[in-house]
Structure 1
Amino acid sequence: MTSDTIADPRSPVARPRRRGPNLEKWGWIYMRLSGVVLVVLIFGHLFVNLVAGDGIRQIDFAFVVGKYASPFWQWWDVLMLWLALIHGANGMRTIINDYVTHHGTRRVLVWAVTLAAAFLILLGTLVVFTFDPCLGVTQDSSLWDMCQG
């Protein structure tokens, strides 16, 4: 092949194989698995909150207090939060890798998405597991009697 010959576009490109885990493959697998689990978690969440019982009329502060009193629902919501945020961040990472051509800009954006997702996961997890309906309740609050018992 001479220097003025163009290679066949359908011929495989010989790239050296990188050592270590194939992170793109595992990211692809994660997106498929987390998507299936998220469908179950989200529809379960919607059913319990909007269909079961009195439907949407039941959702108020007392409903949230009762729901977060159960470790089952705490873990359900935290799992939904973790999977959704990691799923979304991985999707954003893929979009950034596909469309941002400048290496430095791509790196900054991927780090920004990663830090934002990590911060929201941490904050959301703290909210779910440290939720205290009696925090800051005063005597003139409608929650005063509930929090005294």
Structure 2
Amino acid sequence: MAKVDSPRSPYVRRKTTRGNYELYSWVFMRASGVVLLVLIFGHLFVNLLVGDGVHAIDFGFVAGKWASPLWQVWDLLMLWLAMIHGTNGVRTIINDYATKDATRGILKGLLYLAFAVVVVLGTLVIFTFDPCPPGAPAELLASFCTA
């Protein structure tokens, strides 16, 4: 059984092998949270309030947005920041609640695998999206596509 120090004993700083990683992680969570608020509310404003609102969202709407490099970068930043932010939060929860090293390792391995799959697939979708696929019905295509 581990010995617990007396409440009146002087504080002794224990040496850590992690350096400032947790501090930087904490700062990143605060900064990325603020940036994500701007990105998400900008996304919601453009998609839900501008123009015909939610009723205008279809293939052509997304194709028109992703034809612009601005919206590709906007959505890429939103994807990457949200995934890194969420992965870091879940990593912290795993470190706090998984008591066995093996369990912690398996859970974090699955977490990082899920992160990698979502980020790679999401990035591929954003940059390989063809707004004018051949053979698509003309009414579903964006206005700038030639049918």
**TM-score, normalization: structure 1?**
0.85
Alpha-carbon separation, structure 1, partners of 2:113 and 2:15: 31
Confirm whether residue 141 of structure 1 aligns to residue 137 of structure 2: yes
Q: Which runs of 4+ in 1 moved over 4 A?
A: 143-149
Query: 1:25-64 counterparts in 2 under 5 A?
Result: 25-64=23-62
Cross-structure match for 2:91? 93
Alpha-carbon separation, structure 1, partners of 2:126 and 2:106: 30
| Residue number among 20, 23, 36 corresponding to 2:21 in the alignment | 23
The residue type paired with residue 141 of structure 1 is P
Gaps of 5+ in 1: none
Identity of aligned residues (%): 57
Cross-structure match for 2:130? 132
Larger radius of gyration: 1
**TM-score, normalization: structure 2?**
0.86
Identify the structure with bigger relative contact order (alpha carbons < 8 Å, sequence gap 6+): 2
What is the deviation of 1:14?
3.9
Aligned residues: 142
Instruction: Give me the CA root mean square deviation.
Output: 2.3
Preserved contact between residue 32 and residue 85 of structure 2 (Cα < 8 Å)? yes
The residue type paired with residue 48 of structure 1 is V
